[in-house]
Structure 1
Amino acid sequence: MPVNDLHRHITGTAPNGSRRRHKAGPLALLVLTLLSTLVTGCWDRLEIEERAMILGIAIDKAPDNKIEQSKNLTYFGDPPVTKSPPLQVTLQLAVPGRIPLGPSESGGGSGPGQKPVWIHSATGLTIDDAFNTIQQEVPHKLFWGHVRVIAISKEVAETGLTNINEYLRRNPDVRRTTWMIVTEGDAGAYMRITPQLERVPILYLLSTMDHAVQMGKLPNAFAGVFWSAASSKGTDPFLVYTRLVKDNSVQIAGLALFRSDRLVETTEPLDIGVFMGIRNLQEGGYSTLATIPGSNTAIMYQVTHRKARIDVAIVGDKPEIHVKIHNEGNLKEKSNEEVQLSPEVISEIEKNMSKYTPDYYKKLIRKTQQKGADIFGFGEYVRAKQPSYWNKEIGTKDKWEELYKHIKVEVQVTNSIRRVGGKIT
């Protein structure tokens, strides 16, 4: 179209220069209608002060006396009879204007005698039942977008997390990077702790987990990782197992092993490093005590890097797993000066550690096999490297969990020392 004709078409000008008013009106109305849709961005706004922001959630089995005092907010008459135990849900809610914004009280946040969070709890036959009761008592709408930690008691985890996971996964506001932890004892106590290093309890829990990952002492155990493993045919999920110790501190006590969605076993803290080695999580952070061969001198060896390889072979009618792991680390300390760390002595230390460390890996693997909880994902290696065998002989998660109890897993571990704490003589 010529430029002049295009100009007349847009402006509604006739060839002789007169205005075609009867066509410009509908076109202008259409443009205004389209533009009006771009200026409605705030019609459904919700001020931050009008939200009840959830920072942390704790889920426990409801005490019997709390069940008897039910407030009948979600049912008429007697409560329905269910097989699953009633739950007590405890929330840590942010109080607007009291969350600390800096290192000092004057920098914004809670003042003397003012708590930055509000703890609220309720019981229910299901998790949604408990949340409905809490919402009935909280003036603002509960907002899930800032949930950072979900603590679940060991007692609840042992009954299974299917309903809880379904409820959380269907909530679009729950981040997949939210930490889920299993607690020894009352999970609600984690919402009420008064940590020394943080004024907001949930921020203390969050930093404990995040810093442990950065130091190589913990794998990421987010909610999304748990849900993905629970849905996988060849992997079972795990969570971090924690306990409260003196001075309101939280201790990372090991891993919580799940078969599908049910807690079946817990481990010791050092087993976390063993697990990370098998899973080829390369950054290390755990230290172990060892003895220099032929002496009464103990040394502290810290793993700094790991490398693992997993191979699968079908022997007879069952798969065999072969795991090769290499640990690299530093000698940080020795108990006395009885033995000098010469190159020959260091070589003996490496050989000695490579001889006995496989036992620790085999011990953890046997523990998972006894419970049928493949937290290492060996089943996924079988699916990937032996697909025809998987499709013909296994096919489902239940069958793999049963077969996992009886398969052979070979482990080979080597260790090397890169640095020592002092000069080698």
Structure 2
Amino acid sequence: MISKPEAVVRGWGVILMVTVSACLLSGCWDRVEVNDLATITAAGIDQYSDNLIEVSLQIYTPPRAGSSTDMSGSEEKNSQNQSTVISATGVNIADAVSKIQEKVPRLLFWGQVEVFVLGHEIVKRNIAGHLDYILRVPQIRGSALIFASRTKAKEILALTPQLRSNSADMLEESNNLKLNLTMSVGKLNIMLEGGNGTGILPSVDIMPPPEGQPSNRRYPAIVGCAVLKQEKLAGFIDEKTMRGVMWFRNQIDKVTVTIAAGSAKAPISVLLNRGKSKLKPRISNGVWEVLVEVDTREILIQNTSRIDISRLKGTQIVEEKVKQDIEKIMNKTLSIMQRKMNADVLGFGEAFHRKYPKLWEKEKGNWDEIFPQVKVKYEIKTVIINPGKRESPTTSRKNGEGG
């Protein structure tokens, strides 16, 4: 049984411990209220002059309290741009951002930025110094998307697309569809460091308004990619070549392939349900080789030919044509990267580095001479797993081909 004096001592001990612990807690002395933050959703960087750049920040503008809604319940924000673009010039990003902060009565907050757009002139010069700021600021996440613009980045951010609240939101959602090559800030940094300044960025441009719509209905869209060499622009590639890069890099997803088949060369379209590709490097007798293994599963979505997909021969005809189309796209992409740009955005260097780490350390300085000479072979497997809701072609079955 505890005596009364001992209980008093223990009680005071507990009080003392709680008091000391409370003094050591940081509490909320450095808190910043949400209402005091200017949330950045996107940032654009343009070349303003020889010595100055222009930084444009797209800042989220919350809807006004009590905004009107229509009878269907859709909010006013669906027809209004929910962002404000503020710009300033400086010798670097940090300098320009500090000037923007002077214009904004709230603390700039980078924690929600999802999109970075690099203007055409910025990409033509060198992006290394600008990436340093993006990668160094703790609030900026490595998963933020980065694009190269074929026009001024400021113009991209200022667009007010119909289907989304702002241009950054539209670019982010386009990325989520996985129809185009995607690149995050973190992945780009790894790619540039591992490939001696070689990288690739989705390129974005301003599309004209739909027919009959006013000029302010222009919208941003991804149109191919910008290829980087020594951290600056080597050239642009179109959407078809971009698909080839995605095949090599195992980034292909939902894509429609249309081929001409049958005696009438009628178009047949298949939707890629699943696609995987793998690079298998090999060095033999001083020859550097890569075997590209592609395994795909497709769904037939339109058949305007007389080929009967319900018969084995008809299925094999379509699968072979799809295989040839994939190989043709990859060969064209390979030719552009090896002979025209000499830029390894296909992942060959990464594959050789993983398999031959010691030899790679010795030869990586000569990769610009080795890469154009790398021999490539293909093993492509295509399988149609679903003919859709109907198996027979639109034309009469008795006139069908393939069986």
For Structure 1 versus Structure 2, the TM-score category normalised by the shorter chain is: 0.7 to 0.9
1:52 correspondence with 2:38: yes
Q: TM-score, normalised by structure 1?
A: 0.79
- Secondary structure of 2:268's match? strand
Residue type of the partner of 1:36?
A: C
Deviations 1:55-82 (CA, angstroms, capped at 9, x unpaired):
11111121x5xxxxxxxxxxxxxxxxxx
| CA deviation after TM superposition for structure 1 residue 366, in Å | 2.3
Structure 2 counterpart of 1:294, from 250, 263, 271: 263
Partners of 1:56 and 1:381 in 2: how far apart? 33
Deviations 1:113-134 (CA, angstroms, capped at 9, x unpaired):
9753222111222222221221
Partners of 1:102 and 1:368 in 2: how far apart? 53
Deviations 1:322-347 (CA, angstroms, capped at 9, x unpaired):
112122212211335x4444432221
The equivalent of 2:401 in structure 1 is none
> Aligned pair count?
382
- Say whether the 8 Å CA contact 1:98–1:109 is kept in structure 2: no
Consecutive unaligned residues of structure 2, counting only runs of 5 or more, are 210-217, 398-403
RMSD of Structure 2 on Structure 1 (CA): 3.2
| CA deviation after TM superposition for structure 1 residue 319, in Å | 2.1
| CA deviation after TM superposition for structure 1 residue 294, in Å | 2.7
In the TM superposition, 1:28-107 aligns within 5 A as: 28-29=15-16, 31-38=18-25, 40-62=26-48, 85-98=51-64
Partners of 2:78 and 2:207 in 1: how far apart? 26
1:375 correspondence with 2:375: no
Of structures 1 and 2, the larger Rg is shown by 1
In the TM superposition, 1:226-305 aligns within 5 A as: 226-233=188-195, 236-247=198-209, 248-281=218-251, 284-305=253-274
CA spacing shift, 1:260–1:318, aligned 2, 3 Å:
farther
CA spacing shift, 1:151–1:364, aligned 2, 3 Å:
same
Partners of 2:114 and 2:344 in 1: how far apart? 27
In the TM superposition, 1:342-357 aligns within 5 A as: 342-357=311-326
Partners of 1:365 and 1:288 in 2: how far apart? 19
| CA deviation after TM superposition for structure 1 residue 28, in Å | 4.6
Consecutive unaligned residues of structure 1, counting only runs of 5 or more, are 14-23, 65-83
CA spacing shift, 1:100–1:358, aligned 2, 3 Å:
farther
1:315 correspondence with 2:302: no
1:411 correspondence with 2:378: yes
Deviations 1:282-324 (CA, angstroms, capped at 9, x unpaired):
x631112211143231111222211223222112324211112
| CA deviation after TM superposition for structure 1 residue 361, in Å | 0.5
Deviations 1:238-271 (CA, angstroms, capped at 9, x unpaired):
2211221123232221222223522212222233
| CA deviation after TM superposition for structure 1 residue 144, in Å | 0.8
CA spacing shift, 1:169–1:413, aligned 2, 3 Å:
same
Residue type of the partner of 1:41?
A: G
Q: TM-score, normalised by structure 2?
A: 0.83
- Say whether the 8 Å CA contact 2:135–2:185 is kept in structure 1: no
- Secondary structure of 1:411's match? strand
Residue type of the partner of 1:91?
A: L
- Say whether the 8 Å CA contact 1:289–1:298 is kept in structure 2: yes
The equivalent of 1:144 in structure 2 is 110
Partners of 1:37 and 1:351 in 2: how far apart? 71
- Say whether the 8 Å CA contact 2:39–2:59 is kept in structure 1: yes
Residue type of the partner of 2:350?
A: E
| CA deviation after TM superposition for structure 1 residue 27, in Å | 7.7
Q: Taking every aligned residue pair, what percent have the same amino acid on both sides?
A: 21
- Say whether the 8 Å CA contact 1:57–1:91 is kept in structure 2: yes
CA spacing shift, 1:178–1:191, aligned 2, 3 Å:
same
Partners of 1:106 and 1:58 in 2: how far apart? 36
Partners of 2:78 and 2:387 in 1: how far apart? 49
Partners of 2:129 and 2:384 in 1: how far apart? 48
- Say whether the 8 Å CA contact 1:149–1:202 is kept in structure 2: yes
| CA deviation after TM superposition for structure 1 residue 169, in Å | 0.7
Partners of 1:99 and 1:360 in 2: how far apart? 52
